[in-house]
């Protein structure tokens, strides 16, 4: 396999972007990446999108987006793995370049969630329709069950969950692209509306519109497009049983651990080598479970990381410096690419007020459903 680099990135703001359609968002992010690399064509386009069909009634996004980029004729496909669609699209783009099939590939994620669809119902289609959704469970409900299992097994508290939101909002306040550029107080989080016990509104990521795009090429061609390429050291996927009831321990995200194990092996690195990470905090409990599965904390010990500042900017391993899904926003299909962009900017020293000093190796972890799919990328700067 060839070594692969990310050479350019583009991203919209995240938020309720009522003036922009699905295709507007995609083109804005993709064109920024292509222009940034001074490229006039790409060999292939991979679109990460969870559910254009259900959110805005639009499927067949490959040719649609190629056309709207003025690139009709270019091979283009859409990749779906629920909320991990962006990470999965990046994985496919990586394989296309690593295999030698293509030399310049655009991987772009997009989601338009605020156009009036029943967002709860659409997101629930990433859970098991026959055994879970049938009985009235929601996505916050599934993660609430994960949270209660974690609380019962490891003594995690509602306050521990709330500190993750406080930390990620503090980071998001520094990110010009974030949906919520404001801090929240612990008391506000703990007094917010109950959604599914023990998860409250401020434990949940928001409904967002947005798009994010990166350009990939072989490392040995990267200097045609940039003088600061970021190398993809690993790209790994894993799955776990779809229904939460089928997992041996609902407090443990097996797919995340497995995808991390594969990525670490591929890169020849371990959790101690990571300087900065973006993890899939769709709910605050998810960040706690993910940092345990990624090896940044021992199993059952992730609960103290945000409160004690280990995962805050300036801490031992800063997690979700972008604000995470919680504060930056979570346009589901775009999230995996946006995470990679935060790491890309960190490794190039372009993260502004959020910059982690001397960050050279970073990790992005993107998850689908209640943890049934997970994608991990490890990136390395110059």
68 assigned to active site: no
Pairing of strands 209-218, 199-200: unpaired
Q: How far is the CB of 136 from another protein (least distance, A)?
A: 4
Q: Are 196 and 144 in contact (CB under 8 A)?
A: yes
Residues in 227-246 at the binding interface with another protein, rule: CB under 8 A: 241, 243-246
User: Is the dihedral angle over the CA atoms 322, 326, 327, 333 positive or is it negative?
Assistant: positive
| Phi and psi, residue 220, nearest 5° | -75, 0
340 is a site residue for another protein (CB under 8 A): no
- Closest CB 146 distance from another protein, rounded Å: 8
State both tokens at 48: 């990460």
Query: Which one, 95 or 122, has the nearer CB to another protein?
Result: 122
Reply yes or no on whether 83 is catalytic.
Answer: yes
The 3-state DSSP composition of the chain as helix, strand, coil percent (nearest 5) reads 40, 20, 40
Cβ proximity to another protein, 53 vs 241, nearer residue:
241
- Residue 325 CB, nearest approach to another protein (Å): 18
Task: Provide the minimum distance between the beta carbon of 299 and another protein in the complex, in angstroms, as a whole number.
Answer: 17
Closest CA to 249 of 152, 364, 132, 129: 152
250 interacts with another protein by CB under 8 A? yes
As measured in angstroms, the least distance from the Cβ of 196 to another protein is: 5
Tell which one of 10, 15, 48, 141 touches another protein (CB under 8 A): 141
Interface of this chain with another protein, residues 120 to 139, rule: CB under 8 A: 120-121, 124, 130-138
For position 140 contacting another protein by CB under 8 A, the verdict is yes
Quick check: 288 binds another protein (CB under 8 A)? no
Among 29, 144, 202, 240, binds another protein (CB under 8 A): 144
For position 191 contacting another protein by CB under 8 A, the verdict is no
118 binds another protein, rule: CB under 8 A: yes
Indicate the residue among 1 and 194 with the shorter CB distance to another protein.
194
Which of 38, 83, 135, 290 is the catalytic position?
A: 83
Question: Which positions from 147 through 166 interact with another protein, judged by CB under 8 A?
Answer: 148-149, 152
Q: Which is nearer to another protein, 99 or 120 (CB)?
A: 120
Comparing CB distances to another protein, the nearer of 153 and 266 is 153
Part in contact with another protein (CB under 8 A); list of ranges 191-199, 266-274, 293-301, 344-352: 191-199
What number of helices (H) and strands (E) belong to the chain?
13, 11
Which one, 62 or 141, has the nearer CB to another protein? Answer: 141
Query: Which residues lie below 8 Å from residue 277, measured CB to CB, with a gap of 6+?
Result: 291, 294, 296, 317, 318, 319, 320, 343, 362, 363, 364, 365
Give min distance, CB of 244 to another protein, in A.
6
Total residues interacting with another protein, rule: CB under 8 A: 35
Q: Catalytic one among 150, 169, 203, 330?
A: 330
Q: Which residues contact 120 (CB under 8 A, 6 or more apart)?
A: 138, 139
18-25 contacts, C-beta under 8 A, 24 or more apart:
18/114, 20/112, 20/209, 21/56, 21/112, 22/52, 22/55, 22/56, 22/58, 22/61, 22/110, 22/111, 22/112, 23/64, 23/65, 23/68, 25/110, 25/112, 25/209, 25/210, 25/211, 25/331, 25/334
- 194 binding another protein? (CB under 8 A): yes
Residues 28-87 that bind another protein (CB under 8 A): none
Q: How far is the CB of 207 from another protein (least distance, A)?
A: 12
- 105-112/209-218 β-pairing: antiparallel
300 is an interface residue for another protein by CB under 8 A: no
In this structure, what is the dihedral angle of CA atoms 172, 174, 180, 183, given to the nearest 10 degrees? 80
> Least distance from C-beta 118 to another protein, angstroms?
7
The 3-class SS string of 217-257 reads EEHHHHHHCCCCCEEEEEEEEEECCCCHHHCCCCCCCHHHH
- Sorted by sequence, the CB contacts under 8 Å of residue 325 that are 6+ apart come out as 205, 280, 281, 282, 335
As annotated, the active-site residues are 83, 330
Interacting residues toward another protein by CB under 8 A: 118, 120-121, 124, 130-138, 140-141, 144-146, 148-149, 152, 193-199, 241, 243-246, 250-251
């Amino acid at each position: 396999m060839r070594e692969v680099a990310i050479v350019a990135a583009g991203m919209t703001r995240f938020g309720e972007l009522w003036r922009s359609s699905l295709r507007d968002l995609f083109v804005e992010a993709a064109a920024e990446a292509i222009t940034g690399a001074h490229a006039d064509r790409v060999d292939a386009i991979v679109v990460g999108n969870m559910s254009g069909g259900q959110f805005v009634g639009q499927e067949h996004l490959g040719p649609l987006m190629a056309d709207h980029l003025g690139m009709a004729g270019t091979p283009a496909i859409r990749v779906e793995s629920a909320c991990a669609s962006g990470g999965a699209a990046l994985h496919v783009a990586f394989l296309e370049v690593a295999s030698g099939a293509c030399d310049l590939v655009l991987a772009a994620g997009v989601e338009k969630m605020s156009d009036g669809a029943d967002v709860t119902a659409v997101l629930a289609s990433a859970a098991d329709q026959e055994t879970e959704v049938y009985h009235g469970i929601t996505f916050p409900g599934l993660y609430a069950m994960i949270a209660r299992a974690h609380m019962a097994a490891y003594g995690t508290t509602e306050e521990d969950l709330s500190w993750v939101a406080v930390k990620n909002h503090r980071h998001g306040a520094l990110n010009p692209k974030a949906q919520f550029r404001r801090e929240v107080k612990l008391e506000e989080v703990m007094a917010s509306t109950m959604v599914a016990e023990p998860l409250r509104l401020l434990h949940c990521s928001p409904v967002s519109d947005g798009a994010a795009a990166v350009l990939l090429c072989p490392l040995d061609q990267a200097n045609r497009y940039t003088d600061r390429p970021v190398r993809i050291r690993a790209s790994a996927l894993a799955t776990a049983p779809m229904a939460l009831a089928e997992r041996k321990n609902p407090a443990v995200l097996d797919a995340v651990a497995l995808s991390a194990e594969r990525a670490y092996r591929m890169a020849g690195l371990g959790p101690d080598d990571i300087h900065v990470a973006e993890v899939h905090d769709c709910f605050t409990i998810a960040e706690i479970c993910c940092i345990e599965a990624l090896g940044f904390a021992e199993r059952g010990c992730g609960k103290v990381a945000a409160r004690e500042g280990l995962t805050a900017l300036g801490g031992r391993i800063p997690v979700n410096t972008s604000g995470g899904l919680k504060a930056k926003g979570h346009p589901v299909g775009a999230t995996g690419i946006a995470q990679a962009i935060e790491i890309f900017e960190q490794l190039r020293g372009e993260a502004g007020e959020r910059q982690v000093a001397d960050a050279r190796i970073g990790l992005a972890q993107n998850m689908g459903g209640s943890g049934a799919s997970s994608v991990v990328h490890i990136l390395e700067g110059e």
